[in-house]
Amino acid sequence: MNLIDQITSTYKEKFGHAPAHIVRAPGRVNLLGEHVDYNDGFVLPAAIDRATYIAFSPTDAPHSTLVAADFDQQASFSAETIATKTQPDSSALPEWALYPAGVMWALKEEGISTSSINAVFASDVPRGSGLSSSASVEMAFAIAWQTLGGWTLPAMQRALLGQKAENKYVGVNCGIMDQFASACGVENKLLLLDCRSLEWKTVPLPDHVAIVIADTTVRRKLTSGEYNKRRDACEEAVRLLKNDLPKIKSLRDVSVADFNRLANTLPDEVEKRARHVVEEIGRSNQAEALLEAGDIQSFGRLMNECHASLRDLYEVSCPELNVMVNIAQPLKGCYGARLTGAGFGGCTVNLVAKNDVEAFAKALAAGYEAETGLRPEIYISHASNGAELLG
């Protein structure tokens, strides 16, 4: 049974009638520009063909009732209980419910009306894998409340509300990339976003190249703490570099030449973190021209450099991600391979010649299992549309 049938039938069982609507919001994979969105840099994600789906209807009840089919759990919240992150019976909201509740909270903060809903949702975006399962939940619920609220927000506004929910309600200081990609995805296209101006465009991926996602199946705990620490280090670098470069607002404003000149004024760890960001923004600046010219070889090299930098300077890789990347890069047909998303576990993204994809996936899976004893999940991904009401 597919996910839509599954949530529809669970909805009927639970609420006694068919759901009024179905919504879908995808996860994302990022090809270049990692850990630069919160430094005003450029990112190059694509929405993927794995998504969160919600079956839902409006209800006259004072509270919304959500069933997370993946956990077989239920939670309720209302405008009254939302600020305290509790349910009507005063128990704490379970962690998974903070994402939808956060979206309702962020909408309320903006003065946008949200009616109560009954909903059942499920996702085939693997959780904690660097493919933005949480952003897909947020963007799906943003569409659900929009559908029932009689208002329409531009996709970027919905993305910003999702980011606010995650920053201020869930407590992860993430940038805008994930919610943007989930809200604004375009079928068969990469998305190039300037995280300072929020202007974006689509960029083509040549027909002969496939995006292959390889899941190490390793999940790290405490990721949000490490993530927030990286962000603090970037802010510290800007504060210190301002002594010599008073006009800079973020690491986006620091050239590689200026950075090299001033690097020794920074503490070692701050220097490493900031160097990754400054150089990665330089790499992602080249992405558009290379892709427009169809120069996948050079683009893939930038992906490989990005992985080395995330591993050695930003220190967000892990042994299993490095094994996966080291096996992939020399395989026939592989243009580039690197970890994708925040890191600390999860998935790699690989650009592979379509003709070689099957052999690539086989060799990668076998090599990874032989070295780690873990069975990876490897799939070819297609860039998909952003969050949408399906009916």
Active site residue ranges: 178
State the pairing for strand pair 64-68/42-43.
unpaired
Residues 6+ apart with CB under 8 A from 90: none
The two three-digit tokens of residue 122, written as one number: 């499920």
Q: Which residue ranges make up the site for ligand GLA (CB under 6 A)?
A: 34-35, 37-38, 132, 174-175, 177-178, 341-342
Closest CA to 56 of 104, 15, 109: 15
Residues 6+ apart with CB under 8 A from 344: 220, 223, 226, 316, 317, 318
The two three-digit tokens of residue 57, written as one number: 């209807």
Least distance to ligand GLA, CB of residue 11, Å:
29
Least distance to ligand GLA, CB of residue 227, Å:
7
Question: Rounded to an integer, what is the distance from CA 12 to the centroid of its chain?
Answer: 31
The nearer residue to ligand GLA, 291 or 342, going by C-beta atoms, is: 342
Question: Rounded to an integer, what is the distance from CA 181 to the centroid of its chain?
Answer: 7
Cβ atoms of residues 352 and 209 within 8 Å: yes
What gap in Å lies between CA 119 and CA 105, rounded to an integer?
17
Beta bridge partners of 43: 193
Dihedral sign from CA coordinates of 284, 286, 292, 293: negative
The nearer residue to ligand GLA, 130 or 300, going by C-beta atoms, is: 130
370 burial type by CB count under 10 A (0-12 exposed, 13-18 middle, 19+ buried): exposed
State the pairing for strand pair 209-215/42-43.
unpaired
Least distance to ligand GLA, CB of residue 341, Å:
5
The nearer residue to ligand GLA, 227 or 360, going by C-beta atoms, is: 227
The nearer residue to ligand GLA, 132 or 317, going by C-beta atoms, is: 132
If you write DSSP's letter for every residue of 117-152 in order, what string do you get? EEEEEEE-SPTTSSS-HHHHHHHHHHHHHHHHHT--
Least distance to ligand GLA, CB of residue 34, Å:
4
The nearer residue to ligand GLA, 38 or 105, going by C-beta atoms, is: 38
The nearer residue to ligand GLA, 40 or 271, going by C-beta atoms, is: 40
Sheet with 21-30, side-by-side order of all strands: 73-77, 64-68, 117-123, 45-58, 21-30, 388-389
What gap in Å lies between CA 77 and CA 93, rounded to an integer?
8
Least distance to ligand GLA, CB of residue 276, Å:
11
Least distance to ligand GLA, CB of residue 2, Å:
27
Least distance to ligand GLA, CB of residue 27, Å:
10
Phi first, then psi: give them for residue 47, nearest 5 degrees.
-70, 145
Cβ atoms of residues 373 and 379 within 8 Å: no
The nearer residue to ligand GLA, 77 or 314, going by C-beta atoms, is: 314
